[in-house]
Amino acid sequence: MIGTIIYNEDKSLAVKLNEEYLDYFSEKKIEIVPSSEIERADFVVVIGGDGTLLRASKKIIKKKNIDVFAVNAGALGFLTEIQMAEFKPTFENYLVGKRKIEERGLLQVYFKEEKIDVLNEIVISKEKASSKILNICVSAEKSMICSYKADGLIVATPTGS
């Protein structure tokens, strides 16, 4: 089994937990690779708050079918639901096949011919307050949903809403 850890390097608690978890995985003979090698990983542990998880999602999304353990070591914990004291028992259950999988849907956005996968939301807005009103056309699955003029648009997944 191979994993990776992504943590908020600006939070001393997250740094401490990273070191603790590295020791834990070493004892379990589980290989931990750098996040730059996430494509090799079976799971990822994210340590921080919701912001850390959202930033990490850009790397995580690149690897399909990876299990994510989001440990709350930050201020907000809507998405990082695993409390620090729960991590090891939760991971032990995972190792023996006892787990609850909560799948998250992604939003695929095409912008200037680039496909972008998004976990929480996208914001389309004017460049600055004095900019002209935007002409926005929204479609999904190649079907037009609506067209209107506005200052902007927020499209959220169930995770982001």
Catalytically annotated residue among 23, 50, 117, 151: 50
Spatial separation of the C-alpha atoms in residues 16 and 43, rounded to whole Å? 20
- Report the distance separating Cα 14 and Cα 139, nearest Å: 41
Annotation marks residue 50 as catalytic: yes
Report which of 76, 82, 80 is spatially closest to residue 53, judged by C-alpha positions: 80
Query: In a 10 Å sphere around its CB, with 0-12 CB exposed, 13-18 middle and 19+ buried, how is residue 69 labelled?
Result: buried
Catalytic residues: 50
